[in-house]
Amino acid sequence: MLSQLPVKVISLRRSGRRQRIAETLSTHCVDFDFVDAVDANEIPSSEFDRLYDDAAARLRYGRSLSKGEVACFVSHRRLWEAVAASEHGVIVLEDDALLDLAFFKKVVRWHGRKLSHFADIVLLGRSKLSRSSGRRAYLYEPLKRSQPFDGMTIGLPFKQWTSGSVGYWISPRGAALALAHSVGPVRALLDDWPWHRDGGSLRIMELRPYVVWEGFESIASDIEAERNPLISGRTRWKDLLLEPLRFVRLVLRWSIATVIRVIARFDTAAAVNHD
């Protein structure tokens, strides 16, 4: 099978995860390259101070970013430089990505130019979400505006947040916008998609169903252990109190999404009749 879209796998050289994903991609005859990630352990303190704006990060998140989070952002940004200088979008994977069959049968065969007409970035999956929880995620997080694409659905969710970077497609235009917005010291999380969207004017969409999953349940993360002490957890009783509100939000979101789809169909029919 020949893929239309280049696949780039961001990975630390010392990572022990390269062989697994290389075998998976090679089994499906996907052409791919490894992109060496910046190793947080090798960044001198003086260099880290130049790479990172702690005041800006604390202002946005109420905490500092870990060295691993900063290194992750810099790693992806270096790849964006190559994408922005090219004529083709790429699929970016992290080396703990787990891939569904639809990734090979459909996504790698996408025509990037057609996709770039309405999106700069398409998120192909979400971190810290198991396959078994996917249907619940689709139920509670419907797409506000969507359109069919190659037998799947791509659209704008009601809420974008720090949902991971385990797998995404990015166009040359998207890479250029992301670079322009993030120039200088790192001041946000790489996967803070609202930050990229609002400040960088990127059109960030999601794919449904997801085709990329993070192997967080079986593959240890280089960033997670360092980040966890910086994040305050939410207790179980707070989650239980929020459950009724989530249900109300679910009903409202699906109602709004339905109305938007009906209006879009009406507008399309009216345009056809007018022609």
As a whole number of angstroms, the distance between CA 75 and CA 9 comes to 11
Can you tell me the mean pLDDT for 22-27?
95
Judge if 157 and 198 occupy the same domain: yes
Q: For residue range 161-214, what is the model confidence (pLDDT) as tens digits?
A: 888 999 999 999 999 999 999 999 999 999 999 999 999 999 999 999 999 999
- 172 within domain boundaries: yes
Containing structural domain, residue 243: 234-275
CA distance 182 to 15: 27
> What is the predicted pLDDT for the residue at 187?
97
> Which pLDDT value is given to residue 269?
57
Residue 2, domain member (yes or no):
no
Q: Name the band, by pLDDT with cuts 50, 70 and 90, for residue 253.
A: confident
Give the pTM. 0.85
- CB proximity list for 83: less than 8 A, separation 6 or greater: 89, 90, 170, 171, 172, 175
- One domain for residues 272 and 174: no
- Do 221 and 240 lie in one domain? The reply is no
Nearest residue to 115 (alpha-carbon basis) of 160, 147, 145, 68? 147
Asked if the model's pLDDT at residue 145 lies above 70, the reply is yes
Q: Domain check: are 108 and 122 in the same one? A: yes
Check residue 185 and give its pLDDT.
97
Whether residue 200 lies inside any domain: the answer is yes
Same domain, 95 and 221: yes
Q: Is residue 1 situated within a structural domain?
A: no
Q: Which pLDDT belongs to residue 54?
A: 97
For the residues 97-124, what does the mean pLDDT come to? 94
User: What is the identity of the amino acid at 158?
Assistant: F
**Highest averaged pLDDT of the listed ranges 41-50, 139-148, 154-163, 170-179:** 170-179
Residue 147 and residue 17 in one domain: yes
| pLDDT for res 257 | 78
Does residue 244 share a domain with residue 183?
Answer: no
What pLDDT does residue 206 have? Answer: 97
> Residue 126 burial (CB < 10 Å; 0-12/13-18/19+)?
buried
Confidence label for 226 from pLDDT (cuts 50, 70 and 90): low
CATH number at residue 185: 3.90.550
Q: What is the pLDDT of residue 194?
A: 95
Same-domain check for residues 130 and 248:
no
- Both 194 and 251 in a single domain? no
Is 164 inside a domain boundary? Answer: yes
The predicted pLDDT at position 224 comes to: 57
Q: Is there a single domain that holds both residue 122 and residue 243? A: no
Q: Measured between alpha carbons, how far is 88 from 41 in angstroms, rounded to an integer?
A: 32
pLDDT of residue 227: 55
Alpha helix ranges (H) inside the chain: 18-27, 45-51, 54-61, 67-84, 101-105, 112-115, 134-140, 172-182, 193-200, 224-227, 236-274
Which of 233, 249, 265 represents a domain boundary (last residue)?
A: 233
128 with 37, same domain? Answer: yes
How many independent structural domains does the chain possess? 2
Residue 241: is its pLDDT beyond 90? no
Query: Looking at the predicted structure, is the pLDDT value of residue 270 above 60?
Result: no
Q: Are residues 216 and 261 in the same domain?
A: no
Mean pLDDT of 106-132: 93
Domain presence at residue 248: yes
Residue 41 lies in a domain: yes
pLDDT confidence of residue 239: 60
Lowest mean pLDDT among 96-110, 134-148, 192-206: 134-148
